[in-house]
């Protein structure tokens, strides 16, 4: 009898451990991040993971994969929709083909300052875009501000629209490429993880990217000039596969969303400091930095009107309304 009881105990223990393993697997989710760990957005994602564990009482854990270990920024949308990964950091422009109005974030010169983004989202834009994304099979967990986009290149100082003519430029989105093409450059949409090599080899003369991202990817090593243009404020969003999201308990959903709010606020608070430190690092590396004056800024604004007009024509009344809300979010 003792022998049989011993065997039974072993079987029960094996079953319990197996069940616990399944439960553990269900409570852990992966987060695909294309930025390197040094970027302030990556640090915000670490905070998110910590808060998920805290608010769920340790029942839910988030494992982050930095530097495009899982998926590049050009692959993450498909990966989320196909449930190849539970959660990912997504540049909003990667949805432009399926959700045209989301390209509003890439429109040149429409946001007055870094605080304008939150006001814009809080004006009902976030809710509207959440619904658009859910219709495509993903759940928006929280928004991620990125900061301003600048012009980098190896050929000359860019002071006016004509200075862009003939430059081959790495672009981060279709709308960004449209802006560069309107200014006379020859853009190529390219993953941020491939940018350094293209600039180092001279395949591209320059690139559009943010200063913190430039430093985290060591772009200052392979570029001579930067124009402080503040022409676009790229936006990201942390999204989850909708089926995965629906499988969570209400308690776990609350923990994830609460953690997301904390991370969103932290990242917004970190942007200004990150921009300042990144600019210092770029200057210290010997990159010549030129800041547009008011008249030069106006020339670029007028020179890109065609891009904003095309967006409004393509997206109809909603697109026009979003442009108006963005401009008024001061």
Q: Looking at the predicted structure, is the pLDDT value of residue 2 above 90? A: no
Does the pLDDT at position 7 exceed 50? no
pLDDT at position 21 is: 45
Check whether 14 has a pLDDT greater than 80: no
Say yes or no to pLDDT of 81 above 60.
yes
Q: Which residue has the higher pLDDT, 84 or 26?
A: 84
Q: Could you give the C-alpha distances from 80 to 21, 23, 30, 70, 125, in angstroms and in order?
A: 24, 22, 11, 12, 22
Q: What is the overall mean pLDDT for the chain?
A: 91
Alpha-carbon dihedral sign for residues 279, 282, 283, 287: negative
Helix, strand, or coil (residue 240): strand
**Region 98-125: what's the mean pLDDT?**
91
284 pLDDT more than 80: yes
**In the chain, % of residues over pLDDT 70:** 92
Averaged over 198-225, what is the pLDDT?
A: 95
Q: Residue 151: left if φ>0, alpha if ψ -120 to 50, beta else—which one?
A: beta
Quote the pLDDT of residue 95. Answer: 95
For residue 330, the model assigns a pLDDT of 66
Give the confidence band of 221 by pLDDT, cuts at 50, 70, 90: very high
Q: How far apart, in whole angstroms, are the C-alpha atoms of residue 56 and residue 174?
A: 39
DSSP SS3 for 158: coil
- Residue 143, pLDDT > 90, answer yes
Q: What is the pLDDT of residue 155?
A: 97
Burial of 241 (0-12, 13-18, 19+ CB in 10 A): buried
Q: How confident is the model at residue 26 (pLDDT cuts 50, 70, 90)?
A: low
Least confident of 5-9, 121-125, 199-203, 259-263: 5-9
Q: Give, in order, the Cα–Cα distances in Å from 7 to each of 1, 2, 21, 66.
A: 10, 9, 21, 45
User: What are the Cα distances from residue 227, in Å, to 147, 192, 209?
Assistant: 15, 19, 11
According to the model, what pLDDT value does residue 147 have?
Answer: 87
């Amino acid at each position: 009898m003792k022998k049989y009881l011993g065997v039974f105990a072993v079987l029960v223990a094996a079953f319990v451990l197996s069940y616990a393993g399944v439960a553990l697997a269900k409570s852990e989710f992966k987060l695909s991040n294309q930025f390197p760990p040094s970027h302030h957005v990556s640090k915000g994602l670490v905070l998110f993971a910590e808060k998920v564990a805290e608010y769920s009482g340790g029942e839910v854990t988030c494992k982050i994969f930095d530097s495009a270990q899982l998926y590049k920024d050009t692959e993450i949308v498909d990966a989320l929709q196909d449930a190849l990964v539970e959660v990912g950091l997504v540049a909003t422009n990667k949805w432009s083909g399926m959700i045209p109005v989301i390209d509003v974030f890439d429109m040149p010169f429409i946001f007055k300052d870094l605080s304008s983004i939150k006001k814009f989202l809080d004006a009902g834009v976030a809710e509207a875009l959440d619904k658009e994304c859910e219709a495509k099979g993903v759940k928006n967990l929280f928004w991620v501000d990125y900061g301003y986009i600048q012009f980098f290149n190896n050929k000359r100082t860019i002071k006016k629209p004509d200075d862009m003519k003939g430059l081959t430029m790495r672009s981060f989105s279709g709308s960004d490429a449209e802006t560069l093409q309107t200014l006379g450059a020859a853009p190529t949409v390219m993953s941020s993880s491939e940018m350094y090599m293209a600039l180092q080899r001279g395949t591209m003369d320059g690139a559009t990217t943010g200063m913190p991202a430039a430093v985290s990817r060591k772009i200052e090593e392979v570029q001579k000039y930067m124009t402080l243009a503040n022409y676009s404020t790229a936006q990201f969003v942390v999204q989850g596969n909708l089926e995965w999201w629906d499988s969570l308990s209400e308690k776990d959903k609350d923990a994830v969303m609460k953690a997301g709010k904390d991370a969103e606020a932290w990242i917004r608070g970190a942007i200004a400091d990150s921009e300042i430190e990144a600019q210092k690092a770029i200057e210290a590396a010997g990159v010549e930095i030129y800041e547009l004056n008011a008249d030069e800024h106006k020339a670029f604004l007028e020179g890109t009107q065609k891009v904003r007009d095309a967006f409004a024509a393509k997206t109809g009344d909603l697109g026009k309304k979003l442009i108006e809300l963005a401009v008024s979010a001061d």
